[in-house]
Structure 1
Amino acid sequence: MWTDEGTEGNNVEQPVTLIGLGPMGQAMVNSLLEAGHPVTVWNRTASRADGVVARGAVRAASPAEAVRASELVLLSLTDYQAMYDVLGPVEDLRGKVLVNLSSDSPARTREAAEWAERRGARFLTGGIMVPAPVVGTEASYAYYSGPRDVFDAHEKTLGVIGAPHHMGADPGLAQLFYQANLDVFLTALSAFLHGAALLGSAGVPAPDFAPWAAQVLQLAIQLLPESAARVDTDDHPGDLSTARMMGATADHVLAASEEAGIDLDLPRAVKANYDRAIATGCGGDNWTRLIDGIRNPR
C-alpha cells in the first residue's frame, strides 16, 4: 500500500484519481494539484474536465482507466448509486482505496463498504463539511470513517482537501456526522428565512434582521455544551427554560406566523415537539427533555 511518505524513501506526492467533477470535485482537484499531487480525473460529461486538465490533471478516457491510474480513488458524485453506475463495470478494484465523498444514508454507506470489499477494495466514507470555495483552505474539514489503518495511510493526502477527522471504524459514522451537522445547518437557515418573512410582513428588510438573528444564533451556541451534557445524562432540571415556558413561546411564534399569512410548517413542527413533552407530563422539565420525543416519536 502506498503511504503518504511515498515509496522507497521518495518524497513524491501520492497520485490520486478523482471521479466526479461538479463544483466540489473540481475544488478538490485544484487543491490536490496545488499541493503537487498527480491527479487523474474522469467525469461522465467529459468537457467538465477541461479546466482542471488545463491546470495539469490527466483526463482518463473511462472509469477503468481512471481507477488504474492511482491506488487512491476519490468519488464526488450525486449519491452512492452513482458509484455503482460508474464503478460497477470496472472489472478490477483489487488493491484500490475508494474514498466516497458523496452524500447518502448511513445504511447505504455500509452496504457500499461491503460491496467494495467484496471486489477487493478498501473503503472509506467521507463527508466534506464546507462549500466548494472553502475546500483546501484552513477552514476546510471533513469527516471520515472506516478502517483506521486505511485512513492513517492516506491522512496526509486527504488533509490537502481539509482537516481530516476519523470518526470510527463504522462506515456509516462519517455519514451520520455529516447529516447531523446539516440537520442543524439547514434548519437554522430555514429558520432565518422564516424569521425574515415574519418581519417582512411588516415591511422590515431582511438585512435589518440579519445581525439580530446572528446574535440569537450566538446565544444558541453558548447553550450547546450544557444542553448536550443534559441529553446524555438524562438530567433535565426544571429551574429555567422549561418545556412549558418554551412551548408557550413556540405557540406565540405560530400565532404570529398565522397572522402574517406565511408558511406554518416550520413553527408547527417546532411546537409539536413541545406539545409532545407537555402531553407526557414533562412540561416542568428543561426544554432538553424534548430529546425523548424526538428519539421515540409517538
Structure 2
Amino acid sequence: MADVAVLGMGNMGAAVARALLADGRSVLVWNRTATRCEPLANEGAEVAPTPTSAILGAPVVIASVLDYRALKNAMADQLDLTERTVINLTWGTTDEARELAELVSTRGGRYVEGGVLCRPEAIGHPEGDILYSGPTGSIEEVRSLLASLGPIHYVGSDLAQANALALALGSIFYASVLSFLEAVAYADRLGISADVMAPLVRIPLGLAGSTIDASVDQIERQDFIGSEASNAVHSAALASVAQAFTAADIEHRLTDAVSSYFDSAAQLGLSHLEVGALLRIMSRTAAEFNAT
C-alpha cells in the first residue's frame, strides 16, 4: 500500500504528487486521462488504473480534480473509507464541501477540506500556502504529510471554513490581477511598458494593505469616521481614473464596477464616511438592493 494517493494530474495535482515524492513518500496517482500520469510514473509514482483502486491503495487520499462533481464521480463506488483520510483541494461551494464531508463520514472516513492559495510551482516550498479545516484530530493524523506541501494554515474545525476563506481570498486575487491588467492596458496606450510598471505595483498594494487594516478596525468598532480619506474623495479620484481610461479607449469594467459602489455610497448618504463603510452596501441582500 502506498503512503498517499493523489487524484487528478492537472498542474496542481501533479505538483502535489511531486512534492510528496520529493519528501520520500510512496505515491499512487490517478487521472481520468491516463497519459497525464506518465510523467509522474517516470519520477517514481505508481499509477492506479481506476479511482477506486487509487482510493483503496492508500490510507490518505488527496483530491485535486476539476470540481466537486468530478470528485464525487471518482468516489461513485460505495467504498469503505474506514481508517482513510480524504483531503480535498478542489474548489467549490461551502454546501458542496459539507455534502462531501458527510459522504466521506458515512463511509467511515475522515475528511479534511483544503483551499489552495498558491501557484503549482510553490507547492512543497515556503510559498505553498494552503488553508485547511476539519476536526483537529483529522488534521493531526496527516500533519507531517501536509507539511510536505508547504505551510499549514489551520483555520478551524468547521469543515467548510477553508473553502469559504479560499473563495473569499480568491476574489481578492482575481480583482487584483485584473486591476493590474487594466492599468497595463492604459499605460501601454501611453507608451509605458508592463515591466516598468510592475515593480511599482507594491506601492498601491501596500497602501491597500494599510487601508484594509484601518477598515478592519472601523468594522470592529462600527465607527467609519476617520482622518484619512472619505468615500467622496475616493469617488473623485476613481472618476479621474475612469475618465483617463475612457480617453485612452480601453476596457475598464473592473474600474466601473468599483465606481458603482461609490455611487451607491453617495445615494445612501455614506460619502462622508471612510471606505470601510462600503461593507454596509456589500452586505445587503439582492432584495434590499432591488428595493432602493
Q: Report the TM-score when normalising by structure 2.
A: 0.93
2:284 aligned partner: 296
- Indicate if the aligned counterparts of 2:123 and 2:149 stay in contact, CA closer than 8 A: yes
Alignment of 1:135 with 2:123, yes or no, is yes
The residue that corresponds to 1:58 in the other structure is 46
Counterpart Cα distance in 2 of 1:233 and 1:111: 36
Aligned to 1:6: none
1: CA distance, partners of 2:8 / 2:241 = 43
Bigger Cα displacement from structure 2, 207-216 vs 122-131? 207-216
Rounded Cα–Cα distance in structure 2 between residues aligned with 1:118 and 1:77: 22
Instruction: Note if contact 2:7-2:62 (Cα within 8 Å) is conserved in structure 1.
Output: yes
The CA RMSD measured in Å over matched residues stands at 1.7
Look up the match of 1:176.
164
Of the candidates 184, 189, 203, which is equivalent to residue 191 of structure 2?
203
- Give the structure 2 partner of residue 150 of structure 1: 138
How far did residue 44 of structure 1 move?
A: 1.0
1:273 alignment partner AA: Y
- Measure how far apart 1:208 and its partner are: 2.2
Q: Spell out the pairing of 1:238-257 with structure 2 (5 A cutoff).
A: 238-257=226-245
For residues 169 and 213 of structure 1, the distance between their equivalents in structure 2, rounded to whole angstroms, comes to 36
In the alignment, what sits opposite 1:272?
260
1:16-55 → structure 2 map (5 Å cutoff): 16-55=4-43
Q: Distance in 2 between matches of 1:21 and 1:185?
A: 24
State the 1:250 CA deviation: 1.6
Aligned residues: 286
Q: Distance in 1 between matches of 2:188 and 2:52?
A: 54
Return the alpha-carbon distance in structure 2 between the equivalents of residues 123 and 236 of structure 1: 41
Superposed displacement of residue 62, structure 1:
1.4
Within the alignment, does 1:186 sit opposite 2:174 as a pair?
Answer: yes
Which residue does 1:114 correspond to in 2? 102
What amino acid does structure 1 have at the position aligned with 2:232? R
1:216 matched to 2:204? The reply is yes
The amino acid that maps onto 2:247 is E
- Partner of 2:62, secondary structure, is strand
1:237 aligns with one of 220, 225, 232: 225
1:90 positional shift: 4.8
Give the aligned partner of residue 75 of structure 1.
Answer: 63
Larger mean CA deviation between 96-105 and 197-206 belongs to 197-206
Cα distance in 2 between the residues matched to 1:195 and 1:94: 52
Per-residue Cα deviation, 1:13-57 (whole angstroms, up to 9, x for no partner): x81111111111111111111111111111111111112112221
SS of the aligned residue for 1:149 comes to helix
The amino acid across from 2:130 in the alignment is A
How far the C-alpha of 1:92 sits from its partner, in A, is: 2.6
Alignment partner of 2:160: what SS?
helix
Task: Please report how far the alpha carbon of residue 201 of structure 1 lies from its aligned counterpart in structure 2 after TM superposition.
Answer: 2.1
What is the aligned partner in structure 2 of residue 105 from structure 1? 93
Shift of 1:160: 0.4
Q: Which runs of 4+ in 1 moved over 3 A?
A: none
Q: Greater CA deviation, 230-239 or 153-162?
A: 230-239
Q: Is the 8 A contact 2:215 2:275 kept in 1?
A: no
Match of 1:281 among 264, 269, 274: 269
Deviation by residue 1:201-237 (Cα, 9 ceiling, x = unmatched): 2222222222232322122223332222222322211
**Alignment partners' CA distance in 1, 2:99 and 2:208:** 36
In 2, the alpha carbon distance for the partners of 1:87 and 1:221 equals 42
SS at match of 2:142: helix
Structure 1 portions without partners, runs of 5+: 1-13
